A and B are shown apart, each in its own frame.
Chain A
Amino acid sequence: MARTSIVIVGAGIMGQGLAEAVANSGTEVTLIDKTTKLAEQGVKGISESIDREIERWGLTKSDKKAILSRIFPSSDLSETEDAEIVIEAIPEDLKLKRALFERLDKICKKDAVMITNTGTLSISEIGATTERPQKIIGMHFLNPVTKIPLVEIVKGLKTDDATFQRAVEFAELLNKKWITVHEYPGYVTTRIIVPLLNEAMHVLMEGVATAEDIDQAMKLGFGFNVGPLTLADMMGLDVVMSWMENLLEELSEHKYNPCPLLRKLVRAGHLGVKTGSGFFEYDEEGNKLEGSGLATGMAKSGA
């Protein structure tokens, strides 16, 4: 078993999930963010995520020690110099991603595989900022990374087969099932879930049913683990809106136009679980408060 040198850039929620998944597979990983403080906050986030999993019986205290011992926080992008695999997990913004890959291209060794973790953006466009577009590949992990067993492996126009094969091996290291996606806006998961979420928001806004009932209907009626409005809250309403805007811009189709209710909530700073309020209300630990769902687009239920 070769010890792979894996580096993750971006210690936000996705970066944390990826670092935990890599470390849990028994492999060491470096977690980089802009400042040491941010990178260390990332490790703290992982530590808290493991604590929650211990409470849910999924891990033990000795697992925690072992996992954390394999994660090295850093603020030094030059640590990607000798890496075999570099995974970008910074915010979903094409400008930021392009700027990062331009820098990585100058630091990383020639045969390193560079993975961008994006749900909607163009791999080819990100790859074009580098002199090695054949080594750039997309891997769309879904949040929470440690729990969702799927990853979309996204081939850009120039991605070569060897790079694809390395991405497959990386997916297998993390024990994920993978599907192959040929680059197209939204891939499979985002493209299909986004209109569904948007439609649920319209149904709510038009006063057809309460948020609770809409989620209940989709859970029980179609076997969803989580209802669409709760799912949107979990993903982050700002994130959902940015996906829609990306899709709208790329494909110019009306169906990707964000529901006015979504725009309204995002403008008000109600971004879902992370702010404690979205289509539902949440306590500090992110648990949904019973009966807190919106009754229509305008009022709380029971109000």
Chain B
Amino acid sequence: MKILVINCGSSSVKYQLIDTDTETALAKGMVSRIGMSASVLTHKPHDRPEVKVSGEILDHIVAIEYVVAMLLSENHGVIADRSEIEAIGHRVVHGGEKFTESVLITPELMLELRNLIDLAPLHNPHNIRGINACQKTLPGLPMVAVFDTAFHHQMPPKAYIYGLPYVMYKRYGIRRYGFHGTSHQYVAEQASQMLGKPLEELKLITCHLGNGASVAAVDGGVSVDTSMGFTPLEGLLMGTRTGDLDPAIILHIMAREELTLHEANTLLNKHSGLAGISGVSSDMREIIESAHSNHSNARLAIDAYCYRLRKYIAAYAAAMGGLDALVYTAGIGENSPDVRECSCENLEFMGIRLDKAKNNQAVGQKADISADDATVRTLVIPTNEELVIARDTKRIVEAAK
């Protein structure tokens, strides 16, 4: 079955056309800088070189139209007719407490997704936009929503409850939900294969370090704790997000600068994190470059980033009472030996030790980067959320038939 997997961000659409019979991507690509003057569509068919097209792509509908046209294109396409696409799988960030697994998209589901916007105002609207855009561009195809929160749904209450009046949980569903679930789940399964041990017997810590970043404690295949919380704002320092913060700070700033709710929200989500501290960029590569040329706040941003990550790793080992393997994934996790090395510093006491050469070599590929005598394995595993989404989509669409 050929499945189009769509992951809509605020200004990007990532896509893959996956053949679930062979579990390979026939083509993958991304439309970036949507809404800006120079949008770019990068498209890579599995058997031909990558192509880049730039143009003015002002919204998600136009972006999906570009993607479909590219999949059908004579020179760069991978299908002859749009009817070859049999289903569409969508990444949806927030499933609330209601959605503990992937589901078929129906008009009723769309209503429920809209109700969840309050929980993930920064993400669910874009996901919904993506679903609407596909309904418009590829009408009639079955579509499945795969939730970022679903993998974490077995987290115990002691891990998800906040120190607020309990009635806030009952009234507004305020609890830890966790995100990046599909990625944490995928790399945990891959780690079990690499280690040649069943997932049920493993204690893993998975670090998904992309533009957004989170850590999960995966005990016996179940996510028992994770650093993102009620929204994807909590936990690690991220590209433009604060991560953990004394909640009184925001009240203080709102009073001092007379900020509205909207302004405060944008401050926390878009002006903070690596970009906010460094003043350079939200992109770790650029920050590392600046740090090498002695930009002191760039150095500070990296140190703060790695220090907090290190604390989470140790905390989650404590939460599980042990650790078999530490896994790095996503943009920074897969590609930055610097961040891996820095975040593992001082963790020798609990058995984590990297092989410097192996660490430096592991860029964007599966690798065991631990020193031979390390008692905890440290792995780099490229994530593949799209494959998980395609598998779920196939299963649910076939069951619905």
Contact = CB atoms under 8 A, between A and B. Distances in A.
A56 B59 CA distance: 26
B14 to A, nearest CB: 18
Q: Could you tell me the dominant secondary structure of chain A's interface residues?
A: loop
A289 interface: no
Nearest to A70: B58
A95 interface: no
A65 B61 CA distance: 19
B163 to A, nearest CB: 27
B54 to A, nearest CB: 15
A140 B267 CA distance: 30
Interface string A51-66: 0010011111010011
Given A1-B61, A26-B59, A56-B257, A69 B35 contact: yes
B11 A69 contact: no
Contact of A59 (B136, B260, B264, B266): B266
A58 B262 contact: yes
B132 interface: yes
B36 A66 contact: yes
B259 to A, nearest CB: 7
B123 interface: no
A57 B61 contact: no
Nearest to A62: B36
B270 interface: yes
Contacts of B129: 1
A254 interface: no
Nearest to A69: B37
Contact size class for A?
A: 10 to 19
Interface in B53-92: 56, 58-59, 61
A147 interface: yes
B260 A58 contact: yes
Interface string A143-163: 000010000000000000000
B260 A147 contact: yes
A285 to B, nearest CB: 15
A1 B56 CA distance: 18
Interface in A52-88: 53, 56-60, 62, 65-66, 69-70
A57 B36 contact: no
A28 B35 CA distance: 11
Interface string B237-272: 000000000000000000001011011101100110
A1 B132 contact: yes
Of B61, B266, B267, most A-chain CB atoms within 10 Å: B266
Nearest to B258: A56
Given A62-B11, A69-B36, A57 B132 contact: no
Contacts, number: 45
Contacts of A59: 266
Contacts of B263: 53, 56-58
Given A1-B61, A26-B59, A70-B58, A57 B266 contact: yes
Nearest to A146: B262
Interface string B185-227: 0000000000000000000000000000000000000000000
Interface in B67-124: none
A49 B59 CA distance: 23
A58 B266 contact: yes
A57 B58 contact: no
A57 B240 CA distance: 12
B271 A60 contact: yes
A59 to B, nearest CB: 7
A59 B263 CA distance: 8
Nearest to B268: A57
B271 A57 contact: yes
Given A56-B257, A57-B267, A58-B263, A65 B58 contact: no
A57 B271 CA distance: 7
A65 B271 contact: no
A56 B260 CA distance: 9
Of B59, B132, B257, B264, most A-chain CB atoms within 10 Å: B59
Interface string B24-65: 000000000001110000000000000000001011010000
A58 B266 CA distance: 5
Interface in A1-39: 1, 26, 28
A107 B264 CA distance: 44
A65 B260 contact: no
A223 B56 CA distance: 47
Given A65-B36, A65-B37, A57 B11 contact: no
A70 B34 CA distance: 12
A59 B35 CA distance: 15
Contacts of A56: 257, 259, 263
A56 B266 CA distance: 9
Nearest to B10: A62
Nearest to B267: A57
B270 A60 contact: yes
A58 B264 CA distance: 7
B283 to A, nearest CB: 13
Given A1-B132, A60-B271, A62-B36, 10 more contacts: A1-B59, A28-B58, A56-B259, A57-B259, A57-B266, A58-B260, A58-B262, A59-B266, A66-B35, A69-B35
Interface of A: 1, 26, 28, 53, 56-60, 62, 65-66, 69-70, 147
Ranked 9 nearest A-B pairs via Cβ: A57-B267, A66-B35, A58-B263, A60-B270, A57-B263, A56-B263, A57-B271, A58-B266, A65-B36
14 contacts: A1-B61, A1-B136, A26-B35, A26-B59, A28-B58, A57-B257, A57-B259, A57-B263, A58-B262, A58-B266, A59-B266, A60-B271, A65-B36, A66-B11
